[in-house]
Amino acid sequence: MKISIHSDFKLNGKSFSTVELIGEANYLVKQGTFFEKGIGHFLLEWLNDEENIFLQTSGSTGIPKKIYVSKSAMEASAKATGEFFNLKPGNTALLCLSAEYIAGKMMLVRAMVLGLSLDYVEPNSNPLDGNTSNYDFLALVPLQVAASIPFLNRIKYLIIGGAKLNVQLIQQLEDVSTAIYETYGMTETVSHIALKRLGEPYFTLLPSIEISLDNRGCLVIHAPSLHTEPIVTNDIVDLVSANQFKLKGRVDNIINSGGIKIYPEALEEQLSAFISRRFFFTSEPNAILGEQLILIIEGDAFEVPASFFAKFSKFQLPKKIYFISDFVETPTKKINRALTKALLKR
């Protein structure tokens, strides 16, 4: 596939022809840091004659696996994001996510396709510290957002993905002038297919995306420009309109305790107003209920006040609370609930 680089594209302030960009990519692979090597490897893959790009999924639609997505799908995704945010050639952006994964790869693709001036810095928890530049577009994970609050007023549009924002962090962002959006998407959809402005209840689809529900009440994504077949997710949603939905939780996380269905994500959103550590609700076997609700918190044990659960119904109260020093994470730094829960048996 013949790839063209937008004439306004810049990387760390420098313009490149296709040949020059290949040379820069080779230099990064040979001489760069680990992060820069990832950028170089992806650029070489993007600029070769192959039709597809190799990606590793995170498990959003099932067991993590290796897939190939077309470069044309990645271009279509970049253009849809550009249309949503009205990004223009010459607009500025910052890459501070690993180019090993889809979020980082797509920042590079958006810049090359839309003609953005893209800076990059080594991914860390506070990527804006010491950087005095203003940016039109930025993608962060919640950990980075929490540390970057003093600097966010220099960002026009911010998208946040990788994990759900907790109530405490949302409250801290209320006075930030930046237009902040939570994203919904996965590797299979070539990054996000829907966005939700901070404070709004519903996700809104990007252009050319359609959705439906399967017989489990899970979201099915129809995006011919991104994927030839419908993408069946494990995410339970309420369809609000043809282009909006409300995310309720994952079908594989639902707990059936004594015939009562419990959505852990809904409880976690409420409890996040009181607990700043990482935690999650899950279940363990119970002879009477079948499953009983439990709460697992990361870090040292402490007495959890009953007031934290004041708005919970009696069915939503955890029967036990466990503490684990360090949660098990996925390669993209999300909590691996199954493996973390398995630590309780040791």
CATH code of residue 174 = 3.40.50.12780
Bigger pLDDT: 1 vs 91? 91
Does 43 share its domain with 127?
yes
pLDDT (mean) for 8-37: 96
In a domain, 230, yes or no: no
pLDDT value at 287 more than 80 = yes
Count structural domains, the chain. Answer: 2
Number of Cβ within a 10 Å radius of residue 15: 13
Write out pLDDT tens, residues 224-282. Answer: 888 888 999 999 999 999 999 999 988 989 999 988 889 999 999 999 999 989 999 99
Do 114 and 192 lie in a common domain? yes
* Residues 182, 113 share a domain: yes
The bridge status of strand 218-222 relative to strand 231-241 is: antiparallel
Average pLDDT over residues 56-70: 67
Contact (CB, 8 A) for 74 and 109: yes
Q: Which of 29-33, 47-51, 231-235 has the highest mean pLDDT?
A: 29-33
DSSP bridge partners of 210: 222
Q: How much is the pTM? A: 0.84
Whether residue 64 is contained in a domain is answered as yes
**Based on the domain organization, do 26 and 156 belong to the same domain?**
yes
Q: Is 323 exposed, middle or buried (0-12, 13-18, 19+ CB in 10 A)?
A: middle
Range of the domain at 310: 254-345
